[in-house]
Amino acid sequence: MIRLVVAAALALAGLDVAAAQTLRVGDQKGNSQAVMEAAGVLKDVPYKIEWKEFAAAAPLLEALGAGAIDTGLVGDAPFTFAAAAKIPVKAIAAVRQSRGGLAIVVPENSAIRRFDDLRGKKIATGRGSIGHQLILAALEARGWQASDVQIVFLAPSDAKVAYTQGSVDAWSTWEPYVSQEEVLFKSRLVITADGLTPGLGFQVATPNAIQDKRAQLEDFVRRLAAARAWSQGNVESYAATWGKLMNIPPAVPLNWLARAKIRIAPIDDGVVADEQKTIDLYDRWGLIRQKVNAAEIVDRSFGAAIEQGAGL
């Protein structure tokens, strides 16, 4: 019943959306497209959505910068790098979730029990990723230097291989990789992002798309917000659907989704302040060449559409 009501509301809201243009959407495995299909909010879209899947945020942002896609979902850390590199993208919606799913994991039989045990050890993560952000925040919290650990920059698939083969001692990663390691391979979480990083994600879009495809973007974020609201009330059924879609045991997405409580939120003062914290962290570590003002890389004008979809 809830799904039918949501779908009906979205159908009415989308009547004024121009159908002639295609919205090119970048996604990462098991994220926006998966939850929107499960929630049933893609059945009546009055324009074409062209989905393109990326292994991580960095190549997705490169595609945005090249004009190959219009919008996509990324974490706050890679978004910060992109903004500092003058890639023309703006955040149009925020993704809020718990921070327990961003973590540094170690194998079940590892002698490492806490972050302090990682001094001098090799940690795999993606350059500029939220996993990289977590390492830096943990180092800073202890007053350590970058040289106190060995960061090995690898794409998620390569990091998984290195971690499994023992070429690195730990892996700083995100969901669903954290839950996969935790549930299927009994990896242990030695530290999470709780109290260290804001745990933000962003739906971002190019300025051209914001100008030329505003109706489609408003409709898309409305549907995405509705899908995430639906998923919070249907965790078990969504986990089962997600598991089948990804060919992964449902215990993995159930572990992830029950903990994450993912929701789509408007860009507000709190979001801007949290993004500025990430910018300031990277500035302190000398990883961005130019200081960025968070207020200048967001677009608050999609708030009403997000609130309508989320039922706020």
Q: In which band, very low, low, confident or very high, does the pLDDT at 22 lie, cut at 50, 70 and 90?
A: very high
- 205-226 per-position pLDDT tens digit: 999 999 999 999 999 999 999 9
Whether residue 17 sits in one domain with residue 113: no
Q: What pLDDT is attached to residue 226? A: 98
In this prediction, what percent of the chain has a pLDDT beyond 70?
94
Q: In which band, very low, low, confident or very high, does the pLDDT at 1 lie, cut at 50, 70 and 90?
A: very low
Phi/psi of residue 21, each to 5°? -95, 150
Question: What's the CA gap between 70 and 130, in Å, rounded?
Answer: 22
Q: What pLDDT is attached to residue 168? A: 98
Number of domains making up the chain: 2
What's the CATH code of the domain at 82?
3.40.190.10
Q: Tokens representing 41?
A: 């909010």
- 91-120 per-position pLDDT tens digit: 999 999 999 999 999 999 999 999 999 999
Q: Where a domain ends, among 192, 213, 230?
A: 192
Q: What is the mean pLDDT of residues 121-134?
A: 95
Whether residue 235 sits in one domain with residue 180: no
Which of 78, 62, 178 is closest to 133 using CA atoms?
Answer: 78
Instruction: With beta carbons less than 8 A apart as the criterion, state whether 268 and 274 touch.
Output: no
Whether residue 85 sits in one domain with residue 133: no
- 265-288 per-position pLDDT tens digit: 999 999 999 999 999 999 999 989
Whether residue 82 sits in one domain with residue 133: no
- 153-169 per-position pLDDT tens digit: 999 999 999 999 999 99
Q: Where a domain ends, among 170, 192, 214?
A: 192
Structural domain span for residue 281? 2-97+199-310
Q: In which band, very low, low, confident or very high, does the pLDDT at 245 lie, cut at 50, 70 and 90?
A: confident
Give ∠ CA 68-73-77 in degrees, rounded to 5: 105
Whether residue 130 sits in one domain with residue 279: no
In this prediction, what percent of the chain has a pLDDT beyond 90?
86
Which of 72, 77, 75, 102 is closest to 89 using CA atoms?
Answer: 72
- 68-91 per-position pLDDT tens digit: 999 999 999 999 999 999 999 999
Q: Where a domain ends, among 141, 164, 192?
A: 192
Q: What pLDDT is attached to residue 18? A: 55
Q: What pLDDT is attached to residue 20? A: 65
Whether residue 150 sits in one domain with residue 83: no
pTM value? 0.88
Whether residue 92 sits in one domain with residue 10: yes
Whether residue 55 sits in one domain with residue 26: yes
Whether residue 294 sits in one domain with residue 162: no
